[in-house]
């Protein structure tokens, strides 16, 4: 299974349905829902946090959270 952590800069993915219980409530409230497209925009120097675009919003999430959220990569 791919996770958000497996994305390369510029790659996109769709959040999978089976990881709903792994997404913190705060992120769910900000639109980080299953079926939503995410794009990795940037990595901090130590690869933590990750800077993402989700539903037109920009979010930074920690590596420990990103490795729990499964996605389906979008082929470009």
Q: What is the mean pLDDT of residues 2-23?
A: 89
Angle at 37 between CA 42 and CA 26, to 5 degrees: 80
The two beta strands, 37-43 and 12-15, are antiparallel
Q: What's the pTM?
A: 0.86
Domain count, the chain: 1
Q: Identify the band that residue 18 occupies on the pLDDT scale cut at 50, 70 and 90.
A: confident
Domain at 18, CATH number? 2.30.30.90
User: Which domain covers residue 68, as residue numbers?
Assistant: 2-74
Residues 45-75: b if buried by 16+ CB within 10 A, e if exposed: eeeebbebebeeeebebeeebbeebbbeeee
Q: Cα 66 to the chain's mean position, in Å?
A: 6
pLDDT above 70 as % of the chain: 99
């Amino acid at each position: 299974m791919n996770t958000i952590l497996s994305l390369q800069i510029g790659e996109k993915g769709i959040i999978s349905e089976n990881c709903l219980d792994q997404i913190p409530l705060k992120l769910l409230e900000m639109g980080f829902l299953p079926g939503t497209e995410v794009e990795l925009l940037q990595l901090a120097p130590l690869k933590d946090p990750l800077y993402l675009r989700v539903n037109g919003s920009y979010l930074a999430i920690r590596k420990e959270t990103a490795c729990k959220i499964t996605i389906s990569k979008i082929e470009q």
